[in-house]
Chain A
Amino acid sequence: EVQLVESGGGLVQPGGSLRLSCAASGFTFSTSWMDWVRQAPGKGLEWVANIKADGSEKNYVDSVRGRFTVSRDNAKSSLYLHMNSLRAEDTAVYYCSRSLIDWGQGVLVTVSA
């Protein structure tokens, strides 16, 4: 059974940083593209970033490019999202996903003073 478990969310001040983690199991992590998708409170889904299986290609939505970095550790079957210069509009539930097929339960990030 595929399992994706996010962690690392919480309350952070504007301009601050946070690192989200996603622990994966139940599939061959090292051969899977992985995505991050977010959902602001009461809003729709927004794709944030993805990373190729070997980490050689990364893609981002414009609103986070230069502030967020997606990375992975295939030896640990883990996906990360490093978030810097956080803004109020980054407040959302962040989901980790295997190729937008399997999804984690999400982790809440709140950016507020």
Chain B
Amino acid sequence: DIQMAQSPSSLSASVGDRVSITCRASQGISNHLAWFQQKPGKAPRSLIYAASSLQSGVPSKFSGSGSGTDFTLTISSLQPEDFATYYCLQYNSYPRTFGQGTKVEIK
């Protein structure tokens, strides 16, 4: 199975900050990586697919980059509604595997 190492596991940031979350795959996955946002008690929300493509309706403050084994999700200017847990997912092979999550908290 492909392991997804996500870092950091949590971070504290202020409104307006630029934050980045990284995901490292245990083997190359091309660009078969997605990012999700999840708020407490809610279903995940798809943000990015194919490493850098924005899902419909997702604001452009979210961006993704990377290919192969190293990937990054960046939020350009953190807003109150962005405080949540973020997960990466590889869909290059089965089983699909998620990173362990990054909780973004208010400083």
A: which residues have CB within 8 A of B?
Answer: 35, 37, 44-47, 50, 59-62, 95, 100-106
Contacts and interface: CB of A to CB of B under 8 A. Distances in A.
B36 interface: yes
Given A44-B101, A100-B46, A59 B94 contact: yes
A25 to B, nearest CB: 16
B45 A59 contact: no
Interface of B: 1, 34, 36, 38, 43-46, 49, 55, 87, 89, 91, 94-101
Contact of A100 (B91, B97, B99, B101): B91
**Among the interface residues B34, B44, B45, B99, which one has the most CB atoms of the partner chain A within 10 A?**
B44
A100 B34 contact: yes
Contacts of A95: 43-44
Given A44-B100, A45-B36, A59-B95, A105 B87 contact: no
